[in-house]
Amino acid sequence: MKKTLFLSLALLGSMAPAAQAQVSLVNPVPHRVETAGTLLAAPEAWQAEVLKSVPAYVGAAIAEAGIEQRADAPFRLKVGTAGDKALAKYRKRVPAVAEGYYLEVTPQGAVVVGRDGRGAYYGVQTLLQMMGEGRLEVCQIEDYPDVAFRGSIEGFYGRPWSHEHRLRQLDFYGRNKMNVYIYGPKDDPYHRAHWREPYPADEAARIKELNERAQLRGVHFYWAIHPGMDIKWTEADRQHLVEKLEKMYALGIRSFAVFFDDIWGEGAKGENQAALLNYVDDVFVKKHGDVAPLLLCPTEYNRSWSSDESPYLKALGEGLHEGIEVMWTGNTVVHNIYKEGMEWINARLKRKTYIWWNYPVSDFVRDRMLLGPTYGNDLDIAGLMSGFVSNPMQYAESSKVSLYSVADYTWNMAAYDWKTSWEKALKDLLPSEASALRTFAMYNEDLGPNGHGFRRDEGREMAEDCRLAAEGDARAVEEMAAQSTLLIAAADRLLRCEENPLLIDELRPWLTQAKVVAEYGLTVCAMKTALDNGWGEPQFADLYRHARDLKKLMYDNENDPAQLHEYQTGTKLATLRYLPAMNSLFALLVERYNRQSGAALEVSSDYAPFHIESSVAQLAQLPLVATGTELKVTPSNEVIKWAPDSYFTITCERPTRLAGMDFNFGHHGAAADFRLEVREESGEWTNIGLLHYGDTDEVVHTTDEISGKVVTAIRLTNVSGGELQYYFRSFRVSR
């Protein structure tokens, strides 16, 4: 008997007990499936007929599948659109939604009918995914996207993706039915700092190739420009902007975005931004006729920076032409997207908002690799948004864990199951070692304390064992030792895996650290065994020293220049549950040993020679990196608001001799707004002079008296008498 499934394919596994139902391999989850659960062998050859109504890239996708095209093949494939007379009998089955499709699979062949060309392409992708394990399922699928525009924005601060990574991303988007890639890396100078200037020929050629690959994958390639840092509201700069867009248009690009995020001053005026976008709409978009609606990233791009009566949002809502899209990150910079928040912003912008979701981006927690499940957004908000793009990590391959699920979420929101989607994403990314990747990913989910307050529930599966192990429960400690062994094995398997070298290269620093973290956990568990079995002082003391050495090794790994680069500040993992549990167990065991033996071993295993304290919330959680003779603070990406008398302090665990110091807050007058003090060994605070080397120098330098001072703390205070709004581009101490 034929069965009809709506919204979720979770039941499909029960229909084919001998094998996994093939539709369950499909990402995103289709909306409506009719199936009897009958499986058949996938064809090794077929007669593929692609009707003229579909774009050339549909035929290319079929050709790239590697299935032999043979006139006498018994399996026939026909692909077209709802307007084709030859497919008229299927027309009523095709969803009346842009990019929707109908797919029918029988033992004799398959038919794909798209509402449009992209819908036909997506139907083909569904068919190819079903064949991923060498079988097909007899079924009919009616499918369509919930959100019109779905994809990613390369909008992070840090090392931009390589050309190879971008091409691979576009291939990935096509397979997973994402139709948007927004090119806006903050560190591309021709996107931001030198936005008026044309790209050099070689870089322009690479962008042209990216756009062509995007077209081949059914993806809208958006090129974004960021003029807000130094724009002048003049006719000359209006023309500079249009001229730059015309140059990108000549490369074949037909979708454009204008960014005004993370700025202050003249560029942040809503009325001027609206007037500029309207001008571009009139003289560029409407002139060409084949350009997509403009996309704006505003300066007030989240609710925490705005207000119910925000004049800025009012200027955009009332001033922008109808059809210009406006981006939004949610209630804060990094936040899950909720219905109430969507209704709030839509009412002010007088249009559906285009979501810029800041996950799994890690440019504000650069010591983290985010591989956990993608969850937390409301499931009933598809009708409130015009688009949804994820801002990923600078690690392109690793970001696919989350992007796979973003594709799933935005396509069929009500059916989205984040746990199932995560499992499928891991298998899709690394099929041969999916279980090892899962084990490793469990320890790489939480972002740790950060200025945005965005956290993830890392280690949820071992929550109870961690709680009990921290209290010394014998069974839980035994389980934690077993989990530690599994983590070591998973890291070894991934380090030798050759299936996806680009992924393993990204993960390598964290894989190396994972082995040390797990060995520390094993050692702490062994300390309990030694104490319980009365092995005596030498054995326990050796394990104690080993555990502390491993903690020092973790710190050394995080600060090893050979493993790090300018945009990576460490390699933290397992910090929400696993390491706190092992640290608590360590302290419990050492206290017990000290009582029993009369020893005075140090109870803490932590090794952290420097700490940050700050009354500025955006700065309080920034990571510190100590490499060689330098101590660096990770930059912050947003504009920092310093209240009057607010401070930023670095404390030292032991007295530290200074050689120099400098910082860059993006303003050549910052030296006069701050007081720098150092706390000497005596406990007294001493002022250190600050200066710029020139009238246009943004870097703040210290006067010579800092050299040679031995200090236990460094404190910077806003003494301007008012609120300051500055960047936090660098903060460096030489030792």
Q: Which two tokens stand for residue 321?
A: 């032409």
C-alpha distances (whole Å) from 375 to each of 22, 45, 347, 379 are 25, 40, 26, 10
Q: Which amino acid is at 257?
A: A
Strands 68-69 and 295-297: unpaired
| Residue 82 and residue 91 in contact, taking contact as beta carbons nearer than 8 Å | yes
Taking alpha carbons only, the member of 620, 665, 622 closest to residue 646 is: 620
Taking alpha carbons only, the member of 417, 419, 427, 434 closest to residue 29 is: 417
- Of 116, 146, 261, 262, which is the active-site residue? 262
Taking alpha carbons only, the member of 732, 729, 564, 667 closest to residue 187 is: 729
Strand order in the sheet with 624-627: 624-627, 630-633, 730-734, 660-664, 699-702, 690-691
Return d(Cα 231, Cα 463) in angstroms, integer: 51
- CB proximity list for 704: less than 8 A, separation 6 or greater: none
Task: Dump strand ranges (E) for 42-187.
Answer: 45-50, 68-69, 76-81, 101-106, 109-114, 135-143, 149-154, 180-183
Phi, psi of 613 (to 5 degrees): -130, 135
The residue with tokens 């890291």 is 491
**534 C-beta neighbours (distance < 10 Å), count:** 9
- For the chain, the first-to-last Cα distance in angstroms comes to 76
Identify any residues that bridge with 141 across adjacent strands, giving them in sequence order. 33, 103
Return d(Cα 669, Cα 661) in angstroms, integer: 17
Cis previous bond, 28, omega within 30: yes
| Residue 225 and residue 257 in contact, taking contact as beta carbons nearer than 8 Å | yes
Return d(Cα 177, Cα 99) in angstroms, integer: 9
Q: Which two tokens stand for residue 71?
A: 């006139």
Strands 109-114 and 101-106: antiparallel
Return d(Cα 423, Cα 425) in angstroms, integer: 5
Among this protein's residues, is 262 annotated catalytic? Answer: yes
| Residue 174 and residue 247 in contact, taking contact as beta carbons nearer than 8 Å | no
Catalytic residues: 262
